[in-house]
Amino acid sequence: MLQYPVSSGWRLLETRPPRGLLRRIESYLRDREPYCVAAAARFLQRDGRDRIWWWESRSAGQRWVSALLILSKGTLFPILPEASPAESGFFRDFPVQPSTPLYAIQGLSQDVSLVESLFAAQGLSDFLHLDYDLMALDAEAVELAPPFPNLRLRYAEARDLAELLPLQAAYEREEVIPEGGGFDPARCLLSLEHIMRRERLLLAQGPSQIIGKINTNAASFSRYQIGGVYVRPEYRARGIASFMAAAFTRDLRRLGRGLTLFVKQCNPAAQAVYRRIGFQIIAAYRISYPRHLPWRRIGRAKG
């Protein structure tokens, strides 16, 4: 358990922070990397619009980072320790308030629940919770045979954008947009263009059309986060998702990176897919949406 000296406190990261501080923050994130890939990716890709607070502890001439809050594109990522004594000011001086424009709070369930409790004490207690199992793979993925002839896998090219867009839209409607949220076609297109430009995107190609997809959606120091898994409804329950995921994870593991993903606890079929290729559950994960906020006008939460 971590213990904090009285001199600890929350501090906002400057635009040009000292290198020593950046190394301490990086060390904190690396120690927890399998559990915070999306947050670490936001830290690595931060820009002037993001806000990062760190909790600095000092003792016997030593300084270290022992908690982080990353607010990026409307999503708050809390990366918190196991213990945070009230006398330290950890709760009293918490820098993110219910009045802060938030689309979502995302991270380990215990961390998100703590932030929710702080907000609830100030009158904001109505959240929509989506609970996930966080899964990781650090061994070699299994190899699976194609589930039927004429199915091949290939990486996306620029020419695939128009055909992929309906699949991305269907994926967002099924897996990303919270209850009460509205689908935004323009934002969906921007999201897909970003994935095709910045991430790795593998396609399942049938005889006449693309029938499935899977992509990375975050890259931290030594890990990829996988998401965006979608198979056309008429092709489901045929092993395509398992085949795609197995091939994709093998490719990513050859790059020397560990893999992380999160899957809804209410989706045992998806959990079975990932277990089949070697993923194991490592923690409970949560995305919470404050119900009173205008979700249509703020970015998406899923990393």
- pLDDT per residue over 109-120, tens digit each? 999 999 998 888
Together in a domain, 102 and 180: no
CATH of the domain at 181: 3.40.630.30
State which residues form the domain around 273: 137-289
Q: What is the rounded average pLDDT for all residues in the chain?
A: 88
201 and 232 housed in the same domain: yes
> What is the secondary structure of the chain as a DSSP string?
-----TT-EEEEPPSS--HHHHHHHHHHHHHTGGG-HHHHHHHHT--TT-EEEEEEEEETTEEEEEEEEEEETTEEEEE--S---GGGTTTTT-S--TTS--SEEEEEHHHHHHHHHHHHTTT---EEEEEEEEEEE-SPPP----SSTT-EEEE--GGGHHHHHHHHHHHIIIIISPTT----HHHHHHHHHHHHHHS-EEEEE-SSSEEEEEEEEEE-SSEEEEEEEEE-GGG-SSSHHHHHHHHHHHHHHHTT-EEEEEEETT-HHHHHHHHHTT-EEEEEEEEEEETTS-GGGS-----
Residues 160 and 279 in one domain: yes
Quick one: pLDDT band at residue 261, thresholds 50, 70, 90? very high
- Rg (the chain; Cα; Å): 20
- Report residue 102 as tokens: 């938030």
188-209 pLDDT tens trace: 999 999 999 999 999 999 999 9
- Mean pLDDT across 160-167: 98
Query: 173, 188 in Cβ contact below 8 A?
Result: no
Domains identified in the chain, total number: 2
Instruction: Please check the confidence at residue 12 and state whether its pLDDT lies above 70.
Output: yes
Please give the C-alpha separations between residue 144 and each of 96, 135, 226, 235, 247, in angstroms, as whole numbers: 46, 20, 18, 17, 8
Is the same domain home to 154 and 233? yes
271 and 142 in a single domain? The answer is: yes
Query: Between helices 185-198 and 161-171, what is the axis angle to 10°?
Result: 120
pLDDT of residue 91: 73
Q: Which residue has the higher pLDDT, 17 or 85?
A: 17
Residue 256 lies in a domain: yes
Q: What is the pLDDT of residues 20-74, one digit of tens each?
A: 999 999 999 999 999 999 999 999 999 889 999 998 777 666 777 889 999 998 8
pLDDT at 165 over 70: yes
pLDDT at 7 over 70: no
Whole-prediction pTM: 0.89
Give the strand pairing for 51-59 and 62-72: antiparallel
End-to-end CA distance of the chain: 29
Select from 77, 109, 131 the last residue of a domain.
Answer: 131
Domain match, 16 and 113 both? yes
pLDDT, position 296: 38
CB 28 within 8 A of CB 21: no
Does one domain contain both 275 and 238?
Answer: yes
* CA distances in angstroms from 188 to 13, 184, 234, 256, listed in the order given: 31, 6, 23, 31
If asked whether residues 93 and 146 sit together in one domain, one would say no
User: Is residue 274 domain-shared with residue 148, that is, in the same domain?
Assistant: yes
Among 131, 153, 174, identify where a domain stops: 131
Residues 283-293, mean pLDDT to the nearest whole number: 87
Highest mean pLDDT among 8-17, 175-184, 222-231: 222-231
